Amino acid sequence: MSVRVRRIYEPPEAEDGVRVLVDRLWPRGLAKDAAHVDEWPKALTPSTELRRWYHAGEGSYEEFARRYEAELTEPEAAELLDRLRASARGATVTLLTAAKSPEQSHAAVLACLLQE
């Protein structure tokens, strides 16, 4: 299994495999046909409240990751996470985000969970 995290604004690569947008909102200034997104499971994204809390600078990345992992235990999110895990077995999955620092984003948390 190979899980990659990339910014959605980067051009698609042949090594991307299944391209999954993991942001709740569509990235600004990007045409949907240019994004080459295979899946967009919005229920896997952080809640609006958590996203706003984190972007307001009210907490650390570690606290954000803990809260986000808790949200992923909700039934719909847990089911989508299991499905994504299954599709990642034996294939490459690229998690796409518009975050400026993907390594400090929810996409990195998802990547870690998928690789467990």
Q: How far is the first Cα of the chain from the last one, in angstroms, to the nearest whole number?
A: 10
Per-residue confidence (pLDDT) for residue 89, from 0 to 100: 81
- How many domains does the chain divide into? 1
Q: Tell me, what's the pLDDT at 43?
A: 92
Instruction: Encode the chain (116 residues) as per-residue pLDDT tens digits.
Output: 689 999 999 999 999 999 999 999 999 999 988 899 999 999 999 999 999 998 888 789 999 999 999 999 999 999 999 988 887 788 899 999 999 999 999 999 999 998 87
Domain with 15, as residue range(s), is 2-114
Decide: 80 and 41 in contact? Cβ < 8 Å. Answer: yes
pLDDT value at residue 62: 94
Query: What pLDDT, on a 0 to 100 scale, did the predictor assign at position 1?
Result: 64
- What whole-number distance in Å separates Cα of residue 112 and Cα of residue 91? 16
Q: What is the pLDDT of residue 86?
A: 86
Q: What are phi and psi for residue 109, nearest 5 degrees?
A: -65, -45
